[in-house]
């Protein structure tokens, strides 16, 4: 794609962006150059979305642009980092100006919303895939690592779980009977998950550990448990499952989706008892909405699930991913 590469970059990606004070050089040289502010840690992450694996073949490029940014910013959110810069590597089978325009218009719109600057990338020919690398800043020295959960920590989830799964389900089952407004709301939740950036920054100073829920609560909280060498007690009735789900789907579906589906991109985090006052204050100031679902234990490894305080056999909640 060498001949058209520069054309693509200049038409669709090297667009006017608001000047960012730490950026010395963005798109247009061999490297981008950024100045590191004092007393900050640089958080770096990358994620690839591949056609057929992470998104459907005929996805609206506008939605693809959104999702690419959202899933990447979600990783920074889970570290309590403020997103600053991104690098976009895009591989496409052919030149499709209409597609590129729709993709890049929304890409810049969303970047602008989060005050993030595109500082470089790469453009190639091949099966459609998009890789975004993100760079964010963590203020001060405190970090929010998966390995820092401690016995007695309370476990919280932002927002709600399972709505993205329900949206995905509805995209497959076009004639599932459900109120049209609710259908659209849930599909929107699937296509437009909100990365919990502000929430991540809010909890960073008082939480012990955090992760974003991309693969499902069991899988993702499982990473915290493994890294921190501990277990978790979770009460199923405490899971943040919205009325929209409870009123429209079986309880089994709701629990399954909340525990196993993922793609809600909510944060799961753990807070020591002595820091709960700080969390309560943040809730009071409307900096975060979250729900307590259980606590960290070292008496067992892995999960202990209860429903109304009665132990639940893990396997009884059949695993059902729709994937
Ligand atoms: P090089 O050959 O030095 O890697 P390229 O021709 O690949 O340079 O890219 C030229 C400039 O355009 C670089 O600054 C690069 O970061 C940027 N760039 C290339 N592709 C993209 C893209 N898809 N989005 C944003 N910037 C891009
Ligand atoms: Mg290059």
CA 30–ligand 2 middle distance (angstroms): 8
Residue 146 annotated as part of some ligand binding site: yes
27 lines ligand 1 (CB under 6 A): yes
Where helices occur in 61-132 by DSSP H, the ranges are 61-77, 97-113
CATH number of the domain encompassing residue 265: 3.90.650.10
132 lines ligand 1 (CB under 6 A): no
Question: Does residue 41 carry a pLDDT above 50?
Answer: yes
CA 18–ligand 2 middle distance (angstroms): 23
CA 6–ligand 2 middle distance (angstroms): 10
pLDDT, tens digit (0-9, with 9 covering 90-100), for 78-89: 999 999 999 999
Question: Does residue 257 carry a pLDDT above 90?
Answer: yes
- Among residues 90, 106, 139, which one ends one of the domains? 139
CA 285–ligand 2 middle distance (angstroms): 45
13 lines ligand 1 (CB under 6 A): yes
- 226 found inside a domain: yes
Average pLDDT (105-126) is 96
Which bound ligand lies closest to the C-alpha atom of 28? 1
* pTM value surpassing 0.95: no
33 lines ligand 1 (CB under 6 A): no
CA 187–ligand 2 middle distance (angstroms): 36
- The confidence band for 16, taking pLDDT boundaries of 50, 70 and 90, is confident
| In a shared domain, residues 109 and 160 | no
313 lines ligand 1 (CB under 6 A): no
- 12 found inside a domain: yes
Residue nearest to atom 18 of ligand 1 (CA): 121
pLDDT at 316: 59
- For 95, the enclosing helix (H) or strand (E) is none
Residue 302: count of CB within 10 angstroms of its CB = 12
Average pLDDT (212-225) is 96
Instruction: Report d(CA 29, CA 26) in Å as an integer.
Output: 7
- The confidence band for 1, taking pLDDT boundaries of 50, 70 and 90, is very low
- The confidence band for 110, taking pLDDT boundaries of 50, 70 and 90, is very high
| In a shared domain, residues 133 and 181 | no
- 146 found inside a domain: no
Which bound ligand lies closest to the C-alpha atom of 123? 1
pLDDT at 315: 64
Residue 212 annotated as part of some ligand binding site: yes
| In a shared domain, residues 198 and 132 | no
Domain around 262: 153-312
Ligand 1: which of 1, 5, 6, 9 to mutate, judged by most atoms within 8 Å of the beta carbon? Answer: 9
Strands 154-158 and 82-92: what pairing? Answer: unpaired
- 50 found inside a domain: yes
pLDDT at 317: 58
- 275 found inside a domain: yes
Residue nearest to atom 6 of ligand 1 (CA): 6
Q: Pick from 72, 90, 85, 128: which is nearest to 4 by CA? A: 90
Instruction: Report d(CA 183, CA 189) in Å as an integer.
Output: 10
pLDDT at 56: 84
| In a shared domain, residues 100 and 188 | no
- 99 found inside a domain: yes
DSSP per-residue letters across 145-204: -GGG--TTPEEEEES-SSHHHHHHHHHH-TT----HHHHHHHHHHHH-PPP-HHHHHHHH
Strands 302-307 and 231-235: what pairing? Answer: parallel
| In a shared domain, residues 163 and 305 | yes
- 262 found inside a domain: yes
| In a shared domain, residues 77 and 203 | no
| In a shared domain, residues 294 and 167 | yes
Residue 264 annotated as part of some ligand binding site: no
- The confidence band for 322, taking pLDDT boundaries of 50, 70 and 90, is very low
Question: Does residue 34 carry a pLDDT above 70?
Answer: yes
Residue 75 annotated as part of some ligand binding site: yes
Name the token pair of 187.
């599909």
Least confident of 53-62, 101-110, 213-222, 275-284: 53-62
123 lines ligand 1 (CB under 6 A): yes
CATH number of the domain encompassing residue 117: 3.30.1330.10
Which bound ligand lies closest to the C-alpha atom of 87? 1
| In a shared domain, residues 175 and 272 | yes
92 lines ligand 1 (CB under 6 A): no
Residue 140 annotated as part of some ligand binding site: no
Q: Which residues touch 43 (CB under 8 Å, ≥6 apart)?
A: 76, 79, 81, 135, 136, 137, 138
Least confident of 107-121, 129-143, 200-214, 306-320: 306-320
pLDDT at 294: 98
Which bound ligand lies closest to the C-alpha atom of 12? 1
| In a shared domain, residues 134 and 191 | no
- 322 found inside a domain: no
pLDDT at 4: 74
| Paired strand residues for 320 | none
- Among residues 139, 172, 202, which one ends one of the domains? 139
CA 32–ligand 1 middle distance (angstroms): 10
| In a shared domain, residues 31 and 163 | no
Contact 157, 217 (CB under 8 A): yes
Structural Rg of the chain based on CA atoms: 21
| In a shared domain, residues 113 and 12 | yes
pLDDT at 57: 87
9 lines ligand 1 (CB under 6 A): yes
pLDDT, tens digit (0-9, with 9 covering 90-100), for 157-200: 999 999 999 999 999 999 999 999 999 999 999 999 999 999 99
Q: For the chain, how many structural domains are there in total?
A: 2
Residue 29 annotated as part of some ligand binding site: no
Sign of CA dihedral 74, 75, 80, 84: negative
| In a shared domain, residues 97 and 49 | yes
């Amino acid at each position: 794609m060498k001949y058209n590469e520069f054309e693509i970059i200049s038409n669709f990606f090297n667009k006017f962006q608001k000047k960012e004070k730490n950026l010395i050089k963005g798109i247009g040289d061999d490297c981008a150059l950024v100045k590191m502010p004092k007393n900050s840690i640089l958080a770096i992450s990358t994620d690839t979305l591949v056609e057929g694996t992470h998104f459907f073949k005929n996805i609206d490029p506008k939605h693809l642009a959104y999702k690419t940014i959202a899933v990447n910013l979600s990783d920074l959110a889970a570290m309590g980092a403020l997103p600053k810069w991104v690098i976009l590597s895009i591989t496409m089978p052919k030149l499709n100006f209409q597609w590129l325009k729709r993709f890049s218009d929304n890409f810049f719109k969303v970047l602008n919303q989060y005050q993030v600057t595109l500082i470089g990338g790469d453009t190639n020919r091949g099966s459609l895939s998009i890789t975004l690398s993100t760079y964010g800043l963590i203020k001060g020295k405190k970090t929010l690592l998966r390995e820092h959960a401690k016995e007695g920590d309370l476990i919280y989830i932002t927002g709600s779980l399972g709505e993205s799964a329900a949206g995905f389900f509805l995209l497959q089952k076009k004639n599932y009977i459900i109120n049209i407004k609710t259908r659209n709301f849930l599909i929107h939740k699937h296509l437009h998950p909100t990365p919990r950036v502000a929430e991540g920054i809010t909890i960073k100073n008082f939480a012990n550990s955090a992760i974003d829920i991309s693969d499902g609560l069991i899988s993702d909280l499982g990473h915290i448990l493994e890294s921190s060498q501990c277990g978790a007690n979770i009460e199923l009735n405490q899971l943040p499952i919205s009325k929209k789900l409870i009123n429209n789907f079986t309880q089994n579906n709701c629990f399954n989706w909340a525990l196993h589906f993922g793609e809600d991109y909510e944060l799961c985090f753990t807070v020591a008892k002595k820091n709960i006052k700080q969390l309560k204050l943040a809730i009071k100031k409307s900096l975060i909405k979250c729900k307590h679902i259980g606590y960290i234990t070292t008496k067992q490894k892995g999960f202990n699930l209860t429903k109304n305080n009665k132990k639940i056999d893990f396997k009884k909640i059949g695993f059902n991913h729709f994937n």
